[in-house]
């Protein structure tokens, strides 16, 4: 009996074990309740985003409907003007004919009063015509102004939908034609048309914006100003220029000293906006790095004077691609920014061939590093990548040999790898994305993987001789425009509690 009693006592759990089990059960219950609460919050956020997207789509459709109505009004007003002009011309012609007949019949007897009456009739007809024409033109201007307002609303709604979806924004810039060269490309608002039966059927491409050859550097930068400034809110941003050799990529991104491009203007804008913040965010000094990818080698363009162009390695740290040993320099004024980027550009590899006497032979990436602290003590950080891609080339057209040929092959290979990444991202069944097939895509992985905002300038030639290359560039850009990265996320780390 004693042995049996001892056995029963050993089989019963101790009071401490029971308390531990009860505590574990309570913790599990609390964890489950917390998970349910977080799941409910996520579902509520998702529902809100869907409603927001549906509202934006409805507003866009309504704006498009109104725009169509106003376009119809403009057409009716223009027809009314044409009718008025035709009627007025007919009345003037009839009056003048009548005057000529009277003058011919009564030339001998006509007196001063009759001549004055004739002149008065002519002036009356002319005044009536001018008044009617002015009224019709005023109606057309009012309709055009209203149509422009509706187009602006539609553009803003479209941009909002694109932002919610996270699509890569694409803007096209056409280079002025060479002297005496016939044009085959016709840019207009939001659309590029190619007319060259020798190479292709008529082709139209629609993008977020299209800049014709007369567009200024300021107009181009104004189109990305808000995107650039969003980097101060914790969004990482990537702007890159793509196109054939000689199409104006470096002009768009760097620009000459008297017509600075996106790089200097963007960084200066961030510097200015950071100094004007009034919402309690304080920023650390902004830092810049500048590198080039030449023949699949990463080289520091801001290396100290006299230092050799060492080959740098790309690695992954905290989910981002980083370059070990890359020089970063703080900037405090717009003048410092301009001098620093100009110094880096002088180190960049360049060479001449049949299409461009000063062709960039490497991809360059200027990066602005932004770090700050919000009024609540949260840590904010982001990066602004400004990328000038080397030009895509047809080897038979450039006549490249030797080093130029080796460079061209490396350029085309890395651009092909970028195309493969975009194709994989645009796929409905997104699987493996080959970011590591080139140094370019490896470095831009964090900009093309869903948390960042991305914009592409596709630079094209208007010359008829360049239609094959222009078509390739526009098709590449259209493929990029189909990529939806997902809604960008702010990189803000909550303050320790």
Q: Is 245 assigned to a binding site? A: yes
Q: Is 409 assigned to a binding site? A: no
Q: Is 374 assigned to a binding site? A: no
Q: Is 244 assigned to a binding site? A: yes
Q: Is 249 assigned to a binding site? A: yes
Q: Is 111 assigned to a binding site? A: no
Q: Is 261 assigned to a binding site? A: no
Q: Is 318 assigned to a binding site? A: no
Regarding beta strands 363-373 and 379-388, do their DSSP bridges make them parallel or antiparallel, or are they unpaired? antiparallel
As annotated, the binding site for ATP includes 243-250
């Amino acid at each position: 009996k004693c042995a049996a009693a001892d056995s029963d006592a050993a089989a019963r759990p101790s009071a401490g074990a029971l308390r531990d089990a009860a505590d574990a059960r309570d913790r599990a219950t609390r964890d489950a309740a917390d998970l349910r609460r977080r799941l409910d919050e996520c579902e509520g956020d998702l529902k809100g985003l869907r409603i927001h997207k549906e509202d934006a789509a409805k507003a866009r459709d309504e704006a498009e409907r109104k725009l169509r109505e106003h376009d119809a009004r403009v057409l009716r007003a223009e027809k009314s003007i044409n009718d008025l002009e035709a009627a007025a011309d007919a009345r003037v012609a009839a009056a003048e004919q009548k005057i000529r007949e009277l003058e011919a019949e009564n030339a001998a007897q006509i007196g001063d009063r009759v001549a004055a009456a004739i002149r008065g009739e002519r002036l009356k007809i002319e005044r009536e015509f001018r008044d009617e024409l002015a009224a019709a033109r005023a109606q057309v201007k009012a309709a055009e102004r209203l149509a422009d307002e509706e187009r602006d609303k539609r553009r803003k709604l479209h941009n909002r939908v694109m932002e919610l979806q996270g699509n890569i924004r694409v803007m096209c810039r056409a280079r002025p034609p060479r002297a005496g060269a016939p044009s085959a490309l016709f840019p207009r608002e939001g659309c590029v048309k190619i007319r060259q039966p020798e190479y292709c059927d008529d082709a139209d491409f629609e993008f977020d914006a299209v800049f014709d050859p007369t567009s200024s550097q300021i107009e181009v930068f104004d189109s990305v100003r808000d995107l650039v400034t969003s980097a101060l809110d914790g969004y990482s941003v990537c702007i890159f220029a793509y196109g054939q050799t000689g199409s104006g990529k470096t002009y768009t991104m760097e620009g000459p000293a008297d017509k600075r491009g996106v790089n200097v203007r963007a960084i200066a804008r961030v510097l200015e906006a950071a100094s004007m913040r009034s919402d309690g965010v304080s920023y650390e000094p902004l830092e810049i790095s500048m590198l080039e990818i030449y023949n699949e080698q990463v080289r520091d363009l801001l290396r100290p004077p006299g230092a050799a162009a060492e080959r740098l390695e790309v690695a992954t740290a905290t989910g981002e691609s980083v370059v070990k040993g890359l020089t970063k320099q703080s900037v405090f004024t717009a003048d410092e920014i301009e001098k620093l980027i100009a110094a880096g550009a002088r180190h960049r590899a360049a060479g001449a061939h049949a299409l461009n006497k000063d062709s960039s032979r490497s991809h360059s990436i200027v990066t602005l590093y932004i770090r700050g602290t919000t009024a609540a003590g949260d840590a904010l950080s982001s990066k602004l990548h400004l990328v000038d891609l080397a030009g895509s080339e047809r080897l038979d057209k450039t006549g490249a040999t030797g080093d130029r040929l080796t460079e061209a092959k490396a350029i085309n290979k890395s651009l092909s790898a970028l195309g493969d990444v975009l194709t994989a991202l645009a796929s409905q069944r997104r699987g493996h994305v080959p970011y590591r097939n080139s140094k370019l895509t490896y470095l831009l992985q964090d900009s093309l993987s869903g948390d960042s905002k991305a914009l592409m300038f596709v630079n094209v030639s208007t010359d008829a001789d360049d239609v094959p290359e222009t078509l390739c560039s526009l098709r590449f850009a259209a493929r990029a425009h189909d990529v939806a990265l997902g809604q960008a996320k702010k990189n803000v780390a909550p303050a320790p509690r």
